[in-house]
Amino acid sequence: MAKTDTIPEAVSPLREAWGQFLKNRPAVFGLALLSVIVGLVLYGHFLHDADPYDIVWMPLTPPGDEAGIWFGTDFLGRDMMTGLLKGGGPTLLVGLSAALITVVIGILMGALAGYFGGWVDDLLMRLTEFFQVLPALLFAMVLVTLFSPSLWTVAFAIGIVSWPQTARLTRAEFLRIRELEYVTAARSIGAGNGRIIARVILPNALPPLIVSATLTIGVAILFEAGLSFLGLGDPNTMSWGLMIGQNRNYILDAWWPVTLPGLAIFLTVFAVSLVGDGLNDAFNPKLRSR
Amino acid sequence: MGTIRYIFRRLGYGLILMVGVVVLNFLLIHAAPGDPAEVIAGEMGGITEQMMADIRARYGLDRPLPVQLGIYLANIARFDLGMSYYFDRPVSQLIGQRIWPTVLLVLTAQVIAIFLGVVMGVLASRRPNGPFSGFVSVFSTVGYAAPVFWTGLMLIILFSVIVPMFPVEGMSSARFRGGGFAYALNVAHHLVLPATTLAIIFLAQYARLSRASMIEVLGADYVRTARAKGLGEGPVIFRHALRNAVLPILTVAGIQFGNLISGALLVETVFNWPGMGRLAFDSVLRRDYPTLLGVLFCASGVVVLANLVTDLSYRLADPRIRTGGR
């Protein structure tokens, strides 16, 4: 080996965090579980392709009673397995886009408030408090009822009620970082406000924001499931929450049409939060002992 | 700052937030596709021309927008939340009936969650790497990830099919004719499952939070001092550590009130609990917008009040704030 190899190679913080993440068993399990779920949702139609609205057998056939209908049928006799595979798509899509909307609004509000301070901060923080007072699900219900219940309205409604927490977190990070020397240095070489916000502070504020964004995906999935359960999702797409809502009146006769989609939601959010916790530990070495 | 002055300042601020909610409601009615009068009447058909004309006159819909907003605000200041055309009754009357079951449900769930959460957190913090601590960590992730309406349905299966112990629907038995204490017991019996369901999500968060917070506080200098002067484990934990560790939980409990109401909405739908959430759900099905917006307004009011109470209890728990340590 060459002598230069004795000098330890510099490891980028991201790579170091990734290394830490891989040592965290629950987090790796969560990532694996999430990959399986996303894989089934994206490519499940190669295993079993059918219309989730097709009636295939007697209503409320228990799982395993009939060959080929391994997960039973719902109250109309539709195949639960098809529903489970097809119903994940809208749930994940809405969850992801809602989380994206949340993060974009939250970072924008928080960055402006934290960076400029003064009246901008006051104004934006009052706005944040206002949205925290509104009961989120109720407000989303109002939005979806007044406007059409499409996938995008639902995603938008979830995003518009969920951003305050991200905004507070971003603001706190910006307040802390804007006082640091490298920000002063950037300003002294003539960087403008926009450049400092987007290129200097934001990258350094990212780790906690990535963790929070991950957890936001979980919250958004639960939100979408709740709205669909109430029958406020897109009426033309099968989703896990909708399956639970439609079958809940038959719960005393049949457990599976309600239990299985709920289990799917639960496992997805569980996996997402394991990954989020893992990222949190990886980015914050100080917290690792907890 | 004196506590009384503080309360008034907070009340004034709450009032501004409520005006904000009303303005938002107003904007939503006008932003929704279609004629505002039709939005207010709801899409239920059978509305006569006469009724439409009444609505237009009542809300001043032929006047300029700012005037309409003024009329709308003035109506609400008189607790006139409009008329529910589906239930054929004033919205304020409907909500007046439905608000107490929701408050009962939400408060019970919150008390269960805080109490059990703190107990679990304290026990777990005694041995941060012990088995119980591990259990609390797993439980809090599981409790957080399960959709609340699904947890409720699972409890219904468990307690009506497998071990029939608790009623799974409504707030009191349909043929119940007793009064006073017997009635309260009957309601409490019906409350067990909905309140437990709602408590589980928040219990998970509080347990996790108080565990982390207790571990941090137990490492602090003043706890070491307390131990050094020979205090037993009991006083150290309950008098010295817990008092400080409970502050972050109070903060979070206050922030969670909005989410608690959102959760109650789903739980009420699952258990047919006759509260505001159930009312909101019914009014969505009937496209009864005045009722839906009225529920949004009152639920926000409950959150504003809850935040005020949290702030005050925070001042009681932490003398540093009361004596103006800022």
User: For A141, which residue in chain B has the nearest alpha carbon?
Assistant: B284
Q: Is the predicted pLDDT of residue A90 greater than 60, yes or no?
A: yes
CB contact under 8 A, B284 and A222: no
pLDDT reported for residue B307: 83
Of the partner residues B147, B258, B293, the one whose CB lies closest to the CB of residue A222: B147
pLDDT reported for residue A287: 53
Q: Residue A47 has which token pair?
A: 């295993």
For chain A, what is the mean pLDDT? 83
Tell me which chain B residues have a C-beta less than 8 angstroms from the C-beta of A277: 141
Tell me which chain A residues have a C-beta less than 8 angstroms from the C-beta of B156: 251
Tell me which chain A residues have a C-beta less than 8 angstroms from the C-beta of B147: 222, 225-226, 229, 241, 244, 262, 265-266, 269
CA B54-B57-B61 angle, to 5 degrees, is: 120
Give dist(CA B99, CA B142) in Å, integer: 30
**Buried-exposed string B203-222: b where 16+ CB fall within 10 A, e elsewhere:** bbbbbbbbbbbbbebbeeee
Tell me which chain A residues have a C-beta less than 8 angstroms from the C-beta of B150: 225, 244, 258, 262, 265-266
DSSP string, A156-196: HHHHHHHHHHHHHHHHHHHHHHTTSHHHHHHHHTT--HHHI
Residue type for position A242: L
Residue type for position B93: Q
B191-220 pLDDT, tens digit per residue, is 888 999 999 888 888 888 888 888 888 877
pLDDT reported for residue A4: 54
CB contact under 8 A, B293 and A142: yes
- Answer for the pair B199, B116: CB distance below 8 angstroms, yes or no: yes
Q: Residue A112 has which token pair?
A: 């402006």
Of the partner residues A147, A265, A273, the one whose CB lies closest to the CB of residue B150: A265
CB of A123 within 8 Å of a chain B CB? The answer is no
**Alpha-helical runs (H) found in chain A:** 13-23, 25-47, 80-116, 118-133, 136-146, 151-177, 181-188, 193-195, 202-229, 240-247, 256-283
Residue B70: pLDDT band with limits 50, 70, 90: confident
A249-267 pLDDT, tens digit per residue, is 888 877 788 888 889 999 9
Give dist(CA B117, CA B159) in Å, integer: 23
B316's enclosing H/E stretch is helix B289-317
pLDDT reported for residue A108: 93
**DSSP class of residue A250?**
G
Q: Is the predicted pLDDT of residue B82 greater than 90, yes or no?
A: no
**Lookup result for tokens 């010295």:** B240
Domains of chain B: 2-77 (no CATH), 99-317 (1.10.3720.10)
Tell me which chain A residues have a C-beta less than 8 angstroms from the C-beta of B24: 134
Q: Is the predicted pLDDT of residue A286 greater than 60, yes or no?
A: no
B250-294 pLDDT, tens digit per residue, is 888 887 888 888 899 999 999 888 889 889 888 888 778 888 888
State phi, psi for B59 to the nearest 5 degrees: -95, 5
Residue A289: pLDDT band with limits 50, 70, 90: very low
B107-140 pLDDT, tens digit per residue, is 999 999 999 998 888 888 888 788 888 888 888 8
Residue among A127, A166, A230, A273 with most chain B CBs within 10 A, to mutate: A230
* Residues near A138 by beta carbon (within 8 Å), at least 6 away in sequence: B261, B262, B265, B277, B280, B295, B296, B299
- Better-predicted residue by pLDDT, A278 or A284: A278
Residue among B35, B91, B137, B153 with most chain A CBs within 10 A, to mutate: B153
Nearest to B44, CA basis, from B264, B232, B291: B291
B141-168 pLDDT, tens digit per residue, is 888 888 999 999 998 888 877 777 777 7
CB contact under 8 A, A266 and B147: yes
- Better-predicted residue by pLDDT, B315 or B145: B145
**Lookup result for tokens 């005393």:** A252
As a whole-number percent, the residues of chain A with pLDDT over 90 amount to 13
Of the partner residues B145, B149, B307, the one whose CB lies closest to the CB of residue A269: B145
Nearest to A218, CA basis, from A91, A101, A84, A85: A91
Q: Helices A25-47 and A256-283 meet at what angle, rounded to 10?
A: 140
Tell me which chain A residues have a C-beta less than 8 angstroms from the C-beta of B41: none
Q: Is the predicted pLDDT of residue A285 greater than 70, yes or no?
A: no
pLDDT reported for residue B177: 65
CB contact under 8 A, B292 and A258: no
CB of A57 within 8 Å of a chain B CB? The answer is no
- Answer for the pair A139, B299: CB distance below 8 angstroms, yes or no: no
User: For A267, which residue in chain B has the nearest alpha carbon?
Assistant: B145
Residue among A131, A133, A153, A259 with most chain B CBs within 10 A, to mutate: A133
Q: Which residues pair with A46 in a beta bridge?
A: none
pLDDT reported for residue A258: 83
**Which residues in chain B belong to E strands, given as ranges?**
83-84, 89-90
Nearest Cα of chain A lies from the Cα of B4 at a distance, in angstroms, of 23
User: For B300, which residue in chain A has the nearest alpha carbon?
Assistant: A134
**Lookup result for tokens 């929701």:** B102
Residue B5: pLDDT band with limits 50, 70, 90: confident
A252: left (phi over 0), alpha (psi -120 to 50) or beta: alpha
Nearest Cα of chain B lies from the Cα of A203 at a distance, in angstroms, of 28
Q: Residue A124 has which token pair?
A: 């934006």
At the top level of CATH, the class of A87-287 is mainly alpha
Nearest Cα of chain B lies from the Cα of A193 at a distance, in angstroms, of 31
> For residue B143, how many C-alpha atoms fall within 13 Å in the half-sphere facing its CB?
21
Tell me which chain A residues have a C-beta less than 8 angstroms from the C-beta of B265: 135, 137-138, 141
Nearest to B65, CA basis, from B96, B119, B29: B29
Note the Cα B52 to chain centre separation in Å. Answer: 35
Q: Is the predicted pLDDT of residue A121 greater than 80, yes or no?
A: yes
Q: Which long-range contacts (CB under 8 A, 24 or more apart) does A125-128 make?
A: A125/A171, A128/A164, A128/A167, A128/A168
Which value does ipTM take for this structure? 0.85
Nearest Cα of chain A lies from the Cα of B115 at a distance, in angstroms, of 22
Q: Is the predicted pLDDT of residue B57 greater than 70, yes or no?
A: yes
Q: Is B54 helix (H, G, I), strand (E, B) or coil?
A: helix
Q: What is the 3-state secondary structure (H, E, C) of B141-177?
A: HHHHHCCHHHHHHHHHHHHHHHCCCCCCCCCCCCCCC
DSSP string, A141-154: HHHHHHS---HHHH
**DSSP class of residue B274?**
-
- Answer for the pair A205, A170: CB distance below 8 angstroms, yes or no: yes
Nearest to B194, CA basis, from B252, B258, B151: B151
A135-168 pLDDT, tens digit per residue, is 888 888 888 888 877 888 888 888 888 898 899 8
CB contact under 8 A, B269 and A230: yes
**Lookup result for tokens 């269960």:** B112
Query: Range with the lowest mean pLDDT among A94-98, A150-154, A281-285, B113-117?
Result: A281-285
Residue type for position B167: P
Residue A290: pLDDT band with limits 50, 70, 90: very low
Exposed (0-12), middle (13-18) or buried (19+): which is A187, by Cβ within 10 Å?
middle
Reduced DSSP (H G I as helix, E B as strand, rest coil) percent helix, strand, coil of chain A, to 5: 75, 0, 25
Give dist(CA A268, CA A84) in Å, integer: 12
